[in-house]
Amino acid sequence: MDLLIYIGGAIAFFALVMASIGLHEIGHLVPGKLFDVRTTEYFVGFGRTLWSRRRGETEYGVKAVPVGGYVRLIGMFPPAKDRPGEVRAYSTGPFRALADNARDAEWSIIRPEDKGRLFYQKPFWQKLIIMASGPAMNILLAFVILLGVAASYGVYRSQLTISKVQECIVAADATDKTCTGKPPTPAALSGIQPGDKIVAFNGTAVSSWDDVSRLIRTNLDHPALVTVERGGQRLDLKPVNTVITGVPDRYDPSKRVAAGFFGVEPEVLRERGGPIAVVGDMWQMTKQTVVALAYFPAKVFYTAYNLVTGQPRDIYGPMSIVGASRAAGEIASTDQIDAAAKVASLFTVLGAVNLFVALFNFVPLLPLDGGHVAAAFYEAVRRAFARIRGRPDPGPVDTARLLPVAYVVGGIILISGIVLILADIIDPIQLF
């Protein structure tokens, strides 16, 4: 029975992710049609077509390899400038030939009646909206999903009230967790007690546990004066010095950094929240995701290295859609949380995946949406400077010349996907 629940949870989550990808592509499709760009295909998946149906000029369908989707907007590449009356320009090298071949393939299906309906002919702001609306759809989905979880089930948040005081300093990798022969924690020396509510640290008022955590971490081994509320009275505790220890980085938990340590654990309560709380959570997730994207190639490399050498998998490392679906199956089948918590956890993961997809697609490199967004901005700036300086309109940006970059980035994405899928099959990250 547990196996069936595991498989069902994994399949359901995978289907929800593919639905999110389909909505991402609708984010491109709708403004493309609204701005009258000739749109010939809308597909979820790649490879062989499993099912399709034509409505008007657009073929809608599903393909065999469910790892993405696309909308085909005609006229992404403008004609070559040096021979505007011809499709092909004289090739001067392999990179130029690559651009010429892609341009030839694009223009082989362009008809005379498509004039004015080609993507490159549209104003920059329309191009910007068309290409940015896909990732924007994922941001909207993330917000709606996370708001649904926060408003209905709630989110576990650390409080300012202390639930536990650690009596001694124990190394994270120590086998003996007893306090025999170990120094007391700064918290124990200060006299703080369970039930105390921290209201200030070194004279700085705090309004959330994040404030407390940040102040303690940055205090390193300097003096610390903690002010608490106890029994309705405000009380300054005995001054102590925090100590330096290694803790997970706030934005990259796989990396340990030097930080101050006090020695208390806060109460954690489940709280319902609204849009403002969700926006705050998404902002925190965004900062973590940006850091993860910056280190993504290195993390994929180390994932491959650990897989080949048999080293343990980094639990904070990246995973593929296969790994996320396996994690969803694990959440669905565990007996350590109740049904409501399972549903909330699954949709929280789905919201996080949508936010990651959005931010990943906003990376300003082709073939990602962000590459086209950057090209639209560059086109607008270039044309504005030309007008200011009284020069002729330089015309649209020739994104065909950026295809070598697109192939390199696409190759990295493909290899990364293969590595992560293999790692998620052979050595999956275990949640429970």
Enter the tokens of residue 194: 């369970």
Q: Is 330 marked active-site?
A: no
What are the CB-based long-range contacts (under 8 Å, 24+) for 27-32?
Answer: 27/133, 27/134, 27/135, 27/136, 27/137, 27/138, 28/71, 28/73, 28/130, 28/131, 28/133, 28/134, 28/369, 29/58, 29/71, 30/133, 31/126, 31/129, 31/130, 31/133, 32/71, 32/73, 32/119, 32/130
Cα–Cα distances (Å) from 97 to 21, 46, 86, 398, 405, in that order, read 33, 26, 15, 14, 14
Phi-psi region of 157 (alpha: psi -120 to 50; beta: other; left: phi over 0): beta
**How long is the chain?**
432
Q: For residues 142 and 339, give the distance between their C-alpha atoms in angstroms, rounded to a whole number.
A: 22
Residue of 25, 41, 106, 379 with catalytic role: 25
Rg over alpha carbons for the chain, rounded to the nearest Å, is: 27
Contact 92, 47 (CB under 8 A): no
Q: Please tell me whether residue 274 adopts helix, strand or coil conformation.
A: coil
Question: Which are the catalytic amino acids?
Answer: 25
